[in-house]
Structure 1
Amino acid sequence: MTRTEKTAHTADAPGPGAEGLDAHLVVDRGAFRLDVALTAAPGDVVALLGPNGAGKTTALRALAGLVPLDGGHLRLDGALLDRTPPESRPVGVVFQDYLLFPHLSALDNVAFGPRCRGAGKAEARARASELLDRMGLADHAGARPRRLSGGQAQRVALARALATRPRLLLLDEPLAALDARTRLDVRAQLRRHLAAFEAVAVLVTHDPLDAMVLADRLVVVEDGRVVQEGTPGDVARRPRTDYIAHLVGLNLYQGRADGHTVHVGAGPVITTTEDLTGPVFVAFPPGAVTLHRERPTASSARNLWRCEIAGLETHGDQIRADLTGELSLTADLTTPAAAELGLQPGVAVWATVKAAQTHAYPA
């Protein structure tokens, strides 16, 4: 099933008695309360994305049965799992540090789950061997975890989670322990394996690239609540919080639209090409911002704000400037452009953005 097909069929959320995941996770921890609803159909890959402390790992542990629910419900393929012990749930988990048994070979690590579920040794090993072959690890079946690279250990952990044929696969920051070079390769491999997985997969991550590449749908959690959900493209195009805007690299403002003009608080206005009325968000990329030392007179840009350089940092092959003033924003410039403008913290500048480079949408 292609990502487009999977996204289309995600729209029909499963209900009681249906196949797939239907969860409302409520966990009280004194000052912190998790209250998150999750639905997914078989074949869906859902990413829980959010900052540290948002409740992502608590949600994953609740799905696994490692944290009891204080409210809500958890159904998988129509079966209520609220009181089902973790070892009896049709759930596979890939932990952040993989937690492979150091004294067992890769083959026996993968065979461990089926053996615990009652499979004979020969049957369990045959299933493990098949999975390791599918993961491209047939030549490493006899290796113990310390002899495996980070990417190989991640694939063994995934094979072990799949060996019990789970109806729900949970992945807790599955790429966090890898270096940048290994991460690139393993991410591509993991995407292929998840695309072939026929049940529900839930991925927990704080890395937007992992989420965008691996998942069909994003559920963004902040302070224990869902603040936005949708396809990766929808979330990237229409962020609804500063956290999401920062992740996808956009300047984001909330204001009130009157036609093509958006009033941001009691201060500045932003001119857009969209004709809207009422509460809206306005977003534009840092690369859409042009800086000038003097007020421009020949610019065709409809938006012009007087600002001050608050900070400068290297951002890829560009310089990112943080600006304060009439409108707080970030701007990306080439290194020669920044040098030509003589940009330093405290320097006054004029920032311009063309209306066509802004994007306004209902709040």
Structure 2
Amino acid sequence: MSNPHSRTADDAGSSGGRDAETVREHSVAAAPPREPLAGDAGLDAHLVVERSAFRLDVALTAVPGEVVALLGPNGAGKTTALRALAGLVPLSAGHLRLDGSALERTPPENRPVGVVFQDYLLFPHLSALDNVAFGPRCQGVGKAEARAQAAAWLDRMGLADHAGAKPRRLSGGQAQRVAVARALATRPRLLLLDEPLAALDARTRLEVRAQLRRHLAAFEAVAVLVTHDPLDAMVLADRLVVVEHGRVVQQGTPSDIARHPRTDYIAQLVGLNLYRGRADRHTVRLDAGPSITTTEDLSGPVFVAFPPSAVTLFRDRPTGASARNLWRCEVTGLETHGDQIRADLAGELPLAADLTTVAAAELGLHPGAPVWATVKATQTHAYPA
């Protein structure tokens, strides 16, 4: 991120009252990319940040062209990790190498890093064109050439007609694309995106997510995305790294994470009931609760997962049902979940069940109602813990 103070007020316009430190921290300009060393291209980081009541200890690697999403609940350490990569938070220990070069002691303004912040942080006094041109200007590119490069980026983003607009005249989706263009115009070797879609409404988010995916697919260096939204992560990333309490708890492709969650947080994100126990052939004795019959033939510690849609509810104990798994439960809560009703159940086995509004009405479901829950063995999935 090249030093934004290397340009004069005539080059970039008035700062509108921002102090120098704020402008420096929010700059997305980057130093010209260095040639990667053979075999060392990409990101190799071990981020350790010590704070009074929190410790971040996250290992992160990525190859050029790969999009990695840091996913986790609020307070997990995702943003701290992102800021450590950008150089805005110093490492207490560990290392940070990009294309074979150590960056631990490199000031933020000299790192080949582009950042798209959650609220975009466009310079309000500059047009969209000059916002994008700001990075190349910080790298020493002449004013005319920087603006030509910026115009090309805006055209690529479908914003050529908005080049002269100030940020206040842009929609949320347009501002987001300007912020991405501003980051990419510096040709970074590492692109960081902090909740890039969080500020958008649902309709705009759908459109911009698809556009951002296309731009990331064309990006030839490493991109790291921070989000708490599983859909953003699943759509935008090639690989997910799930962080809880400052540590990596699971990583893999979106499909692998969705199929094999290893914590309650991940299971809730992907919409699965998840349990841990010990398998003896097709029977899994849960650590806390009854047994579950599965189709997998396993032995030892395992996870068992099944979707809420696999659960069938009855008001009376079913007779002649083919389901191998049957538990007596009580409804503790009901909520709309898409076009269905999700019932939270407690009892022999705490679980969530999805059913239609018609089925919920016919069963007379309400908090406190007793029910029987069944799940067929063929609808469960067991895998080693």
Tell me if both proteins adopt one fold, taking TM over 0.5 as the criterion.
yes
Structure 1 residue 31: Cα displacement:
1.3
Kindly provide the amino acid, as one letter, of the partner of residue 64 in structure 1: A
Q: 1:26 aligns with which of 48, 55, 58?
A: 48
Aligned length: 350
The residue correspondences of 1:229-248 to structure 2 (distance < 5 A) are 229-248=251-270
State the distance in 2 between where 1:196 and 1:270 align. Answer: 46
The residue correspondences of 1:310-321 to structure 2 (distance < 5 A) are 310-321=332-343
Residue aligning to 2:140: 118
Task: Provide closer, same or farther for how the CA distance between residues 16 and 86 of structure 1 changes in structure 2, counting only shifts above 3 A.
Answer: farther
Matched, 1:54 2:76: yes
Matched, 1:143 2:172: no
Residue aligning to 2:229: 207
Matched, 1:222 2:248: no
1:25-55 alpha-carbon deviations (Å, 9 max, x no partner) = 0000111000000000000000000000000
1:167-199 alpha-carbon deviations (Å, 9 max, x no partner) = 000000000000000000000000000000000
Q: 1:76 aligns with which of 98, 118, 121?
A: 98
Task: Provide closer, same or farther for how the CA distance between residues 114 and 15 of structure 1 changes in structure 2, counting only shifts above 3 A.
Answer: closer
State the distance in 1 between where 2:43 and 2:336 align. Answer: 43
Residue aligning to 1:273: 295
Task: Provide closer, same or farther for how the CA distance between residues 222 and 125 of structure 1 changes in structure 2, counting only shifts above 3 A.
Answer: same
Residue aligning to 1:158: 180
Contact 1:16 1:75 in 2 (8 A): no
State the distance in 2 between where 1:149 and 1:271 align. Answer: 53
State the distance in 2 between where 1:320 and 1:243 align. Answer: 18
Q: 1:290 aligns with which of 312, 326, 331?
A: 312
Residue aligning to 2:64: 42
Structure 1 residue 265: Cα displacement:
2.0
Residue aligning to 1:11: none
Aligned-partner SS, 1:183: helix
Residue aligning to 1:256: 278
Residue aligning to 1:3: none
Report the identity percentage: 85
Contact 2:76 2:245 in 1 (8 A): yes
Kindly provide the amino acid, as one letter, of the partner of residue 219 in structure 1: V
Aligned-partner SS, 1:233: helix
Structure 1 residue 316: Cα displacement:
0.9
Q: CA RMSD in A?
A: 1.2
Residue aligning to 2:189: 167
Structure 1 residue 267: Cα displacement:
3.1
1:250-274 alpha-carbon deviations (Å, 9 max, x no partner) = 0000000000000012530000000
Matched, 1:96 2:118: yes
State the distance in 1 between where 2:333 and 2:288 align. Answer: 25
State the distance in 1 between where 2:289 and 2:331 align. Answer: 19
Q: Which moved more, 1:63-72 or 1:119-128?
A: 119-128
Aligned-partner SS, 1:332: strand
The residue correspondences of 1:280-359 to structure 2 (distance < 5 A) are 280-359=302-381
State the distance in 2 between where 1:201 and 1:308 align. Answer: 46
Contact 1:17 1:79 in 2 (8 A): no
User: Which runs of at least 4 in structure 1 moved beyond 6 Å after TM superposition?
Assistant: none
State the distance in 2 between where 1:318 and 1:113 align. Answer: 48
TM-score (norm 1): 0.95
Residue aligning to 1:191: 213
State the distance in 2 between where 1:293 and 1:165 align. Answer: 62
State the distance in 2 between where 1:72 and 1:308 align. Answer: 49
Matched, 1:362 2:376: no
State the distance in 1 between where 2:37 and 2:269 align. Answer: 32
TM-score (norm 2): 0.90
State the distance in 1 between where 2:251 and 2:38 align. Answer: 21
Aligned-partner SS, 2:197: coil
State the distance in 2 between where 1:53 and 1:306 align. Answer: 36
Contact 1:15 1:22 in 2 (8 A): no
Task: Provide closer, same or farther for how the CA distance between residues 266 and 226 of structure 1 changes in structure 2, counting only shifts above 3 A.
Answer: closer
Gaps of 5+ in 1: 1-13
Structure 1 residue 109: Cα displacement:
0.2
Contact 1:312 1:344 in 2 (8 A): yes
Residue aligning to 2:21: none
State the distance in 1 between where 2:314 and 2:92 align. Answer: 56
Contact 2:37 2:99 in 1 (8 A): no
Gaps of 5+ in 2: 1-35
Residue aligning to 1:10: none
Structure 1 residue 344: Cα displacement:
1.0
Kindly provide the amino acid, as one letter, of the partner of residue 300 in structure 1: S
Aligned-partner SS, 1:99: coil
